[in-house]
């Protein structure tokens, strides 16, 4: 959550040829605005503004919050700028398109295509009250999303914050991966210099430990956790808690009568704590998503139904993951 002193740019503020319309979101690493260019074309503009390192007290200028944070702020600024350059060269229908990036106000801005539709998180909220997200939709969304993620990995980038809130479903049904705030940590550079940004429940175990190697398998954990949320309506147990006492239940026990065993097994494999035991690349996951699905198990008997109802009530009573 942004500190009170980190005020967003006001409505009507001019950034090059873009006019700020409103605040879209604010996180620990950046602020995102809706803006319009000189032709009134809508865009999303992300401003580099890490709360732990920088402050905007008055006006539009951004400054490091202390002399100690200055070097780290500049390092993050450089990484953010390089990320913008890299993403601007990735032209893929399932990756948010970067239109421009520039320096201003002693920070960096990334201009992105403004997408219309709704997040997968919203889709989950709408569907979970009934039967959960349909398997056909899960397979469709994640197969095409993985096409984009494969392109990201080929460019030596990681996303590191894949979750339903960062997966957008356009109005015509195609998915697009948003918010590359954590992709500044590349596969080949010093990925431990900045405080890791992750979402509990969707972050892999190795994201909590600086000694662990991050790779495509780390994003694959986020893919598995997001598919898990499509089925259950909630995030899995956070990986750091699982390392102490793993309480992650087998989806086949609760949802085997609604989803194919192949899909549930794939999600389980993606959520393995040991990164070497997960699928190691995007094509491996896509291959599994393309495999024919066996029919779900027969509807469980009365005893099993009562058991699953009790398990669901217990799960809902537990504190939700953030």
Partners of 174 in beta bridges: none
Residue 111, classed as helix, strand or coil, is: strand
Distances (CA, A) of 55 to 7, 59, 68, 105, 179: 9, 11, 14, 12, 22
For residues 57-82, average pLDDT = 76
For residues 141-164, average pLDDT = 92
- Among the listed residues 29, 104, 27, 7, the one whose alpha carbon sits nearest the alpha carbon of residue 73: 29
pTM above 0.95, yes or no: no
Residue 158 · residue 216 · CB < 8 Å:
yes
Residue 15 · residue 109 · CB < 8 Å:
yes
* Tokens encoding 112: 């992105």
Enumerate domains of the chain plus CATH numbers. 14-113 (3.30.200.20), 117-317 (1.10.510.10)
Does residue 184 have a pLDDT over 50? no
Does residue 187 have a pLDDT over 70? no
| 9-61 tens-digit pLDDT | 999 999 999 999 999 887 777 888 999 999 999 999 999 888 777 777 666 67
What angle do the packed helices 282-290 and 261-270 form, to 10 degrees?
A: 170
């Amino acid at each position: 959550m942004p500190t009170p002193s980190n005020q967003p740019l006001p409505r009507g503020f001019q950034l090059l040829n873009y006019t700020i319309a409103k605040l879209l979101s604010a996180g620990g690493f950046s602020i995102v605005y809706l803006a319009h260019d000189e032709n009134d074309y809508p865009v999303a503009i992300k401003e580099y503004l890490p709360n732990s390192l920088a402050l905007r007290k008055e006006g539009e200028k951004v400054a490091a919050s202390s002399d100690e944070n200055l070097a780290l702020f500049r390092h993050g600024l450089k990484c953010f700028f390089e990320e913008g350059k890299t993403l601007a060269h990735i032209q893929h229908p399932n990756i948010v398109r970067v239109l421009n990036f520039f320096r201003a106000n002693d920070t960096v801005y990334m201009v992105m295509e403004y997408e219309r539709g709704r997040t997968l998180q919203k889709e989950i909220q709408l569907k979970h009250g009934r039967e959960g997200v349909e398997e056909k939709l899960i397979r469709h969304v994640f197969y095409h999303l993985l096409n984009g993620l494969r392109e990201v990995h080929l460019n030596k980038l990681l996303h590191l914050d894949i979750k339903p809130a960062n997966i957008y479903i356009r109005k015509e049904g195609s998915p697009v991966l948003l918010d590359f705030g954590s992709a500044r940590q590349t596969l080949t550079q010093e990925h431990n210099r900045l405080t890791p940004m992750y979402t509990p429940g969707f972050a892999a175990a190795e994201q909590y430990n600086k000694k662990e190697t991050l790779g495509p398998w780390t994003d694959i954990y986020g893919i598995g956790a997001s598919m898990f949320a499509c089925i259950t309506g909630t995030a899995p147990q956070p990986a750091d808690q699982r390392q102490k006492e793993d309480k992650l239940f087998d989806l086949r026990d609760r949802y085997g009568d609604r989803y194919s065993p192949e899909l549930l097994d794939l999600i389980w494999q993606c959520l393995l704590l040991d990164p070497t035991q997960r699928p190691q690349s995007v094509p491996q996951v896509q291959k599994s998503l393309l495999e024919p699905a066996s029919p779900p198990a027969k509807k469980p008997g009365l005893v099993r139904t009562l058991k699953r109802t009790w398990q669901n009530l217990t799960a809902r009573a537990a504190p939700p993951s953030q």
